[in-house]
Amino acid sequence: MGYHLSSMPQPSWNYSSPNLTLTTKLNRNLIRFHFTMLHPVVNTKDLPQTTKLLKKHCPSVLSTKCNNALNLPFKEEVKATEVAHLFEHIILQQMCQEQIKEGYYSAEFSGRTIWETAAHPLRIFTIETSITRFHLPFLRPALKKSLALIELILDSGQNQS
């Protein structure tokens, strides 16, 4: 069995709650999240408080760019999209905010969310981002804020159904 220095264990940030689990994979040039929904609701269409909570806690996320099938602005797309896709937009926006808080003139991150339907029958998503190791100092606070907001949104749907 071959063993190379490049296959040494990577640092990772994992999170789990009754609502979701998140695994962070640090690759050389990109950071990938594996997001598994445990909460019964997968789509924001069943979380009617979503826009209101975003306006209150992270309004800038509503004006982020989004490439979606119908070319909807994100503030429309967010009314009916996968929670994992919303998480992608929130974490990228929080990363920008952390970077600018540290004195950077501008910040820009991109990402895409893939629903792993082919590989998994369950609600497992992969989120690929342009976040790199260079941005790691911003990732921990950004993740903390993003996960807190997603939990708040998911908990707002607790009385649904």
Cα–Cα distance for residue pair 91/145, rounded to 1 Å: 8
Residue closest to Zn ion (Cβ)? 66
Nearer to Zn ion, 17 or 107 (CB): 107
Residue 67 beta carbon to Zn ion: minimum distance, rounded to whole angstroms: 6
Instruction: Give the residue, chosen from 66, 72, 124, 152, that forms a contact with Zn ion under the rule CB under 5 A.
Output: 66
Q: In Å, how far are 4, 158, 159 from 1, measured between CA atoms?
A: 10, 49, 52
The answer to whether residue 62 forms part of the interface with Zn ion (CB under 5 A) is: no
Q: Which range of residues in 49-57, 58-66, 114-122, 147-155 is near Zn ion by CB under 5 A? A: 58-66
Least Cβ distance, residue 26 to Zn ion (angstroms): 22
Please name which of 73, 79, 1, 86 lies closest in space to residue 35, comparing C-alpha atoms. Answer: 86
Taking the complex as a whole, the smallest distance from the CB of residue 76 to Zn ion amounts, in Å, to 11
94 neighbors 86 (Cβ within 8 angstroms): no
Whether the CB-CB separation of 61 and 90 falls below 8 Å is answered with: yes
- Residue 82 or 98: the one with the smaller Cβ distance to Zn ion is 82
Q: Are 140 and 22 in contact (CB under 8 A)?
A: no
Residue ranges in contact with Zn ion by CB under 5 A = 66
